[in-house]
Each structure stands twice: as C-alpha cells, then as structure tokens.
Amino acid sequence: MFADARPDLTHCPAGFAAAVGWSDEAADRLADLGRRLAIANETTNLVGRSTLAAFWSRHVLDSAQLIWFAPDALVWADIGSGAGFPGLVLGVLLKGRPGARVHLIESKEKKCRFLRESAAALDLPCEVHQCRAEDVSLKVDVLTARACAPLCRLLSYTEACFARGARGLFLKGEGVDAEIREARRMWRFEATVRESLSDARGRILAVEGVKRGRP
C-alpha cells in the first residue's frame, strides 16, 4: 500500500526536503538540472518555455512529492519521461540508496539524448530506454507518468509491469475522475486520488491490483 503521510508545508523546501531526503547536495543537483533544462530547451522542445520560471514548484516539487507516497520504493519506471519529470528528480532523491534505480522510458531520440546526458552529468541511478512504453516489461516497485496518456491507455501500456507486481503513481489533473470511470470499462483496479502538493488543481492517482476486465 502507498503511504498516507503528508508534509505540513507544501511549498517550503526546508520541511519537505528533510522528509524526502532533499539534502544540500540534492538541491545543487536539482539546480544544475534546471540550468541544463533551460539551455537544452532553447533547441529541443522539452517543456513549455513559460514553465521554466516556476521550475521548483511546477517541475521539481511536482515530481519529488511522489517519494512521500512510496518512501520505501527503490525501483521506479517513468513512462513517457520526456524532460525527466518526475524521473530525473526521483533519481536525484534516490541517489545513494542501495539498489535504487529509475528507468526512464521515452521513444523520442532527442529527449532520450537529454535524459542520458543529464543523468550522466548528475551521476544519477537512472537508465534510459528509447522505446515505446508498451514494449517494456520491467520488474519495478512503482510506475509513474506525467502528461503521458489517459489512464486507460496508461494501463494498456504498462500491463506487463503491473502483472509483475508494480504499483502506479500517476500525476494527473482535475479530470482524473473521468479517466478512472473510462478506464473501469476495460480494467479492474483499486484507485486512490490525492491532492497534489504542488498545485491545487493537480491530483496524484495511486493504482494497484490492475487486471483486464470489467468489475
């Protein structure tokens, strides 16, 4: 099961950072990631340019909060990793933990290049897979995705990983309830929705026990 603990201060780096292992060293790596993203975004469309000004809340905090809900998980897979959110941020926070690994699944070559270069430069426990999500069958603790696909398609893409015991923590928006209803037409699963710590409009969708078929 996912943890229910939540931080008291949703936008304060001090309390939040202590809880998720956001050390000074990790903060430096995250700042370096922000610089690399801004430079790469000039030539490769990784994130909306307007979101760079809100890098720490829009991208870092949004990604880092997932550690709160699966504090013991060591092996993650980020589906449709894109610019590395949440995958690269999770890699920063998991760095140094024995057995930690973040698999970054991305089909676009230019984005994979950014992911590989960033992971190598920041010395992160990340592995980049240039492939389609549905071609992956990994044994992982947690699957995650942000702005990748509606839930029904996400479950289809990751069916093999769920069959091997994975759980899902997906960053979603206000339309998550509709996505759940649609997905239940094809899938059986347990779902819990929590408010995002980084955006009042955002939601974190926890999914477990995924099987094909209607309830």
Structural domains in the chain plus CATH codes: 13-212 (3.40.50.150)
User: Which two three-digit tokens encode residue 183?
Assistant: 């997905």
Place of tokens 């809880």: 19
Q: CA dist 27 to 31, 33, 179, Å? A: 6, 10, 34
pTM tops 0.95: no
Quote the pLDDT of residue 80.
95
* Residue 4 pLDDT > 70: no
Q: Collapse the DSSP code of 130 into the 3-class scheme (helix H, G, I; strand E, B; otherwise coil) and give the result.
A: strand
Q: What is the mean pLDDT of residues 152-164?
A: 95
Mean residue pLDDT across the chain: 90
pLDDT in tens, 104-143: 999 999 999 999 999 999 999 999 999 998 998 899 999 9
Res. 13 pLDDT band, cuts 50 70 90: low
Q: Are 144 and 156 in contact (CB under 8 A)?
A: no
Quote the pLDDT of residue 10.
43
